[in-house]
Every structure is written in structure tokens, then in C-alpha cells.
Amino acid sequence: MAYKAPRGTVDILPDKSSQWMRLEQLLRTISAHYNVKEMRTPIFEHTELFNRAVGDTSDVVSKEMYTFEDKKGRSVTLRPEGTAGIARAYVENKMFANPEKLQKYYYMGPMFRYERPGNGRQRQFHQFGVEMLGVESPYVDVECMVMAVTIVEALGLKDVKLHINSLGDDESRDAYRKALQDHFRDSLDQLCHDCNERFEKNPLRILDCKVDNDHPLMSSAPKTLDYLTESAKQHFEKVCELLSDLEIEYVVDTNLVRGLDYYSHTVFEIISDDPKMGQGATVGGGGRYNGLIEELDGPATSGVGFAFGIERLLIALGNEEDDEEGIDVYVMPLGEEAKDLAIQITTMLRANGFSCDMDFMGRGLKGQFKSADRHHAKFSMIIGEEEVKNETVNMKENATRSQENIPLENIVEYLESHMEGE
Ligand code: AMP
């Protein structure tokens, strides 16, 4: 076969899609419990949005974006993440003017990054993310983290840990940035090319480097928590206190910086130690960001959010057998006249809320029974010559194997009474 899906993309076939739907439904239900509303933003945006919002020193923007010109020569980009679009929509639609200051949104859908595909890493992947905008309070940081933890708990994921850290406010970050530069200045020749670039533009990102990850300078680097201002420290202490009060287990991980330009105060990740994921795989992460909405010409607004990779959640869940949803009725016509009746009946059944299918191939009984089985039909409805003549159908309940002749006008009533309590 000549055509293949582009590298790094995956077809989600029907045997997997019900697992996806269940996960998506769970995420929607938990969002409703947290009073978080869905926001759907475009799959592509002006490239400038990501340059501004995500920051052009990030790997995502500098190396991984699917950027192209449209027919009018405008540069557009397939979204590599969800926060920028939500923030743009929040400003453009003046959501900040809502008297309800705290606005909580979720998004779910495909994201695109030109990365080297690997276990749990794709070029088109899916994220579920949450943004809570408008209120800068440690309580909202905790609301966000508790929601993330609730999700992994509801999924029954084992071996996952909440890692948290604080980057503090602008003043703390400035002091920390200087300390990092002092730490790395004399050893720049030992670090990769990218780290050398990061040194001036955003030294925090050096700690995120995938190449120099194990360099001894990384573990001996100064820690953010030592550079927090008094008020940033109080913010972080309150976050830790609230998490403990709620009996949420967490680890303070001073190496966690999440280098995106806009993060401040709390940053967190949910990390899995499940061997299926590879050591220390991040299932999701997020944090507080303070400058983002202003960066997009909105009023000064604080936000906190997180994103989960849906594929990674599914890997962590394991390849549980997909118990395929069956249909209610498989309609089995024998002969041309019966087929005419069968299409009438399937249409009528669907209009009455039943799921059903029929044989379109004019096969014999044996082949049709096999299909009823493969579709996990609760009932097989046989329509032979006799039935056509008598205006009845022969209904077989597959679980009990009981069989009955039913007048056409009683089909719905029969099904309703036999499916009660389902
Ligand atoms: P990030 O926006 O980089 O913080 O990513 C948030 C989450 O999205 C990660 O923790 C992963 O679970 C997931 N993720 C990021 N990049 C990819 C990718 N290329 N393929 C699959 N999942 C990804």
C-alpha cells in the first residue's frame, strides 16, 4: 500500500476509540465537578501568537512548530499547545470583563509538534488541559493541582507522583536568573550549543536541557526556593499547607523549572514511574503564569493551568481489553421482500432510540447469525417469507436463546419490556 499516515501520526481505530471516548467522558465529568467549562479554539493560529505566548527561546517554538504560509502569505501554525489559544480567546472575547473573576476553562484535542517520534511521543498528539484565569491565590493553585490529581486517581493510575516547586514572582526569578548565570558562566564551554543560547535569553531553560541533563553542573545548580521573596515564599508555603491538609501527597522537586517564559510561582508535574512509560515520564504538568495575558495585550491577569497528554494517560492505563459496545438488534432478512421490510424496521428502530444493523448482502441464516455474534447483538430479528406474509418478525434474545414471533406493531414494546433496567 503506497499511502501511509505521516510519521508521528496515529490512526485511532474503532477497537481503541471506545477507550478514548471513555477517557474523554471521564475528563468531561471531572471538569463539570470542578465547574470548569469547555473552550474550543482553532487548531491553527497566527504564528506570532505562539512566538509571543510560548516564547521564541522555547524548543516548542524554535524547533517544533508546524508553520506554513496560507494562500495569502500569512504565517500560520498548527497549535503546539493549548494555553496560547485560550489566552488569546480570553483577551479577544473580553472574558476578563466577566463579573465572575475566576474563569475556569478546559480544552481537549490534537496538538502538533515536530518531535522525534518515540514511545509516548508523537507529532500529532492530544492534550486535555485546564486554565484557571483571573485570581492569583494559592487556593486556586491548589484547586488546579487537586483536579489534576483527581484525574489520575479516577483513572486508577499507579506509581504516579505530584512534583511541585515554586519559581516565585518577578523579583525572585530575576535573582534566581542571575544566580544561575553566575553558576554556569565559567563552564559554558562544557554545555551544548542550545544551553549557550539559553544562558543569555532564559537561563532557567538550561535546567530543562535534554542533552546536558546528567551534567554535574545541573545537580549543583542553585535552587529556586533559595531565591524567593518573602511574599513568594508565603504563597508557596500556603500551597504546601493546603495540599497537606487535603492529604494530597507531593514531593518538592527543586529541579522542576518548566522553562516556559510565562511561568511564575507554583509549577508542578505528575510523573509516572510505571516501567511502560520509561523512567520518570511526565504524564502532565502545569503551573501559574502571570505575564501571559498582558503579553497578549490584555489586562494584568494571573492564571494557573495544566495539561495532560492523552496518549500518555492511555499508555499508563495499559492495554485493557476493549469490551466492545454491542448493538441492540441485528436484523436478518431472508429474501428480497424481507430486505425491503428490514430497512423499514431498522429505520423505525433507530428513530425509537435503539441501536441496530442489518444484513445488506443477502446471505443465508448461518452467515447472518455470525454477524449478529460479531456485533454483540442483544437480539437477532429473523424475517423470512412466513414473517413477511404474516407481518411479524421472529425475535431471538441471544442471552437466553428464547425465540418469539412478534407482530410488527409490537416490536418496540417487546424490546422495551425485554431491555428494562439496562
Ligand atoms: P507540555 O505542554 O510540553 O508541558 O506537555 C504536557 C503533556 O503533553 C506532557 O506531559 C505529555 O504528557 C504530553 N506531550 C507533550 N508532547 C507530546 C508529544 N510529542 N507526544 C505525546 N504527548 C506529548
CA–centroid distance, 309 to ligand 1, in Å, is 5
Q: Is 356 in the pocket of ligand 1 (CB under 6 A)?
A: no
DSSP secondary structure, 96-135, as one string? GGSSS--EEEEEEEEEE-----BTTB-SEEEEEEEEEES-
Strand ranges (E), 134-248 = 160-166
Return the half-sphere exposure (C-beta side, CA atoms, 13 A cut-off) of residue 236. 26
Q: Is 301 in the pocket of ligand 1 (CB under 6 A)?
A: no
Grid coordinates standing for 77? 501554525
Closest protein CA for atom 11 of ligand 1? 309
Q: Is 122 in the pocket of ligand 1 (CB under 6 A)?
A: yes
Grid coordinates standing for 81? 499547545
Q: Is 287 in the pocket of ligand 1 (CB under 6 A)?
A: no
Closest protein CA for atom 16 of ligand 1? 121
CA–centroid distance, 360 to ligand 1, in Å, is 44
Tell if the pTM clears 0.85, that is, is over it: yes
Q: Is 79 in the pocket of ligand 1 (CB under 6 A)?
A: no
Give the chain's count of helices (H) and strands (E): 15, 16
Closest protein CA for atom 10 of ligand 1? 284
For 208, residues 6+ apart whose C-beta sits below 8 A from its C-beta are 257, 258, 259
Closest protein CA for atom 13 of ligand 1? 309
CA–centroid distance, 284 to ligand 1, in Å, is 7
pLDDT tens by residue, 364-376: 999 999 999 999 9
Of ligand 1's atoms, which has the minimum distance to the CA of residue 120?
21
pLDDT tens by residue, 181-215: 999 999 888 988 888 888 888 888 888 787 777 88
* Mean pLDDT, residues 315-338: 84
d(CA 357, CA 346): 7
Q: What is the pLDDT of residue 280?
A: 60
pLDDT tens by residue, 103-155: 999 999 999 999 999 888 999 999 999 999 999 999 999 999 999 999 999 99
Mutate to test the pocket of ligand 1, among 114, 125, 152, 208 (most ligand atoms within 8 A of CB): 125
Three-class SS of 269-287: EEEECCHHHCCCEEEEEEE
